[in-house]
Amino acid sequence: CGIFGVVGAKDAANFVALGLHALQHRGQEAGGIVSHDPEHGFNSARRFGYVRDNFTNAAVMDTLPGPIAIGHVRYSTAGSKGATAIRDVQPFFGEFSMGGCAIAHNGNITNAVALRRELIERGSIFQSSSDSECIIHLMARSIQKTLAERIKDALRRVEGAFSVIAMTRTKLIGVRDAHGVRPLVLGRIGDSGWALSSETCGLDIIGADFVREIEPGEMVVIEGNRVESTRPFVQATPRFCIFEQVYFSRPDSILLGRSVYETRRMIGVELAREAPVEADLVCPVPDSGTPAAIGFSQESGIPYAMGIIRNQYMGRTFIEPTEHIRNMGVRLKLNVNRALIKGKRVVLVDDSVVRGTTSRKIKEMILEAGAAEVHFRIASPPTAWPCFYGVDTPERSKLLAATMSEDEMRDWIGVNSLKFISLDGLYRAAGEAQGRNAKAPQFCDACFSGEYPVVPSDKIEEGFQM
Ligand code: 5GP
Ligand code: SF4
Ligand code: MG
């Protein structure tokens, strides 16, 4: 999901709509904005579909006045899927004795099932099927006197990955979990306003200056010109999601002080070193494979070409929550550039192989177009484990790499060769010159390594074996 908040700017909701538009790649199912102004109190609008189709028209935006607002774009990883219920669309809102509070959450609460059970037994009435709603109910049970303190109390009981943006009548609040699995950054709007955004690309679109990242385990409370920082959680080693670097974030964002584009280009460079091949063309599977394909071409000297053309009117396929649409998705979204491909030995670079359906369809299309050879190079290691921290990977049995070796996957997809970047190569590309520190990994890489930084306790209760 993508989250964005603004305080201290006229018509803050307009900035939030722009910020969410820049974060649309993080969630395409639905979006919502809550704003507050002293005259009208809290207002909200929640809609299915793209930000540009909902939060650009005056009829909606005029209902969201005020100098403070937060918003969310949804990508379902917990709660209803596919036909998302509007009640699951964030931000969530709670009315407390000290005033209202809205929250927007990116990530996944790994003990949400247990928390929900406990809260319902003690009288909470849930409105949605979302894991994030727990935070509001935990706040309601807190005896702290301020909303910010209640958020701390609530989040201390929450396990898993979260970046949260919250707002009260006057305060904008940002928090990251102790491992800092999901991103969150702080920006400055002119000399009076502040913004919080999942990624720096959200700051760029509103012309805000990037100030710094919110740190793992940090909470900031912004009011007027003050940014107050505290550390509410037991300290842990940072474990930022390495898949944000590979796929999830936008390439024009800056993560951990590094350009995402540059990390992805370096993945291609590493891949060309680890798994060279003789070929005529290097083609990305657009858009997610593009920077790595550029790096592969630069390092190998094999010309880069656009052998596959992407229909710009389609969103992200994987992020489509239903399998049916995902299957249709490949042909709706990608087409082979026949004139270029015919008779050529082609290296195809993609970001990941999950179920393998995308790779198999692309191989079919490219052989139909007359390619002489097809070599896949993948910008992440084999995805052998599900993510429980906010990326919607399927259960383990549906992951190709959970049941097959690399050679078996090559034969199943039906290509001349298939190579994945090594975990060490990926870490090097992400700026860790010594590669992965096996004793204390610098990132979360559980979907590749099976080493989960946070025990996924709900899933274990369901029978998942680590
Ligand atoms: P597959 O067809 O192998 O299940 O899906 C792999 C494709 O899904 C890749 O082309 C990748 O770009 C895309 N993708 C989109 N979102 C995600 C995601 O959240 N995780 C992973 N691993 N791949 C994703
Ligand atoms: Fe990211 Fe994978 Fe960890 Fe999920 S399991 S947070 S996708 S690195
Ligand atoms: Mg892709």
| Mean pLDDT score of the chain | 95
Q: Is the pLDDT of residue 319 over 60?
A: no
The ligand that comes nearest to the alpha carbon of residue 318 is: 1
Residue nearest to atom 18 of ligand 1 (CA): 318
Residue 263 to residues 24, 137, 266, 430, 455, Cα–Cα distance (Å)? 21, 40, 5, 5, 28
444 labelled as ligand-binding? Answer: yes
pLDDT band with cut points at 50, 70 and 90 for residue 323: low
Q: Give pTM, 2 decimals.
A: 0.95
Q: Is the pLDDT of residue 237 over 80?
A: yes
pLDDT of the residue at 392: 87
pLDDT band with cut points at 50, 70 and 90 for residue 78: low
The yes-or-no answer on residue 1 being catalytic is yes
Mean pLDDT of 231-260: 97
Q: Is the pLDDT of residue 318 over 90?
A: no
Span 56-77, pLDDT tens digits: 999 999 999 999 999 999 988 7
Give the distance (Å) from ligand 2 centre to CA of residue 379: 15
pLDDT band with cut points at 50, 70 and 90 for residue 330: confident
Identify whether the C-beta of residue 128 lies closer than 8 Å to the C-beta of residue 85: yes
What domains can be seen in the chain, in order of their start residue?
2-238 (3.60.20.10), 257-462 (3.40.50.2020)
- In short, whether 389's Cβ falls inside 6 Å of ligand 2 is yes
Q: Is the pLDDT of residue 312 over 90?
A: no
Which residues fall inside 5 Å of ion ligand 3, going by CB?
288
Residues β-bridged to residue 269: none
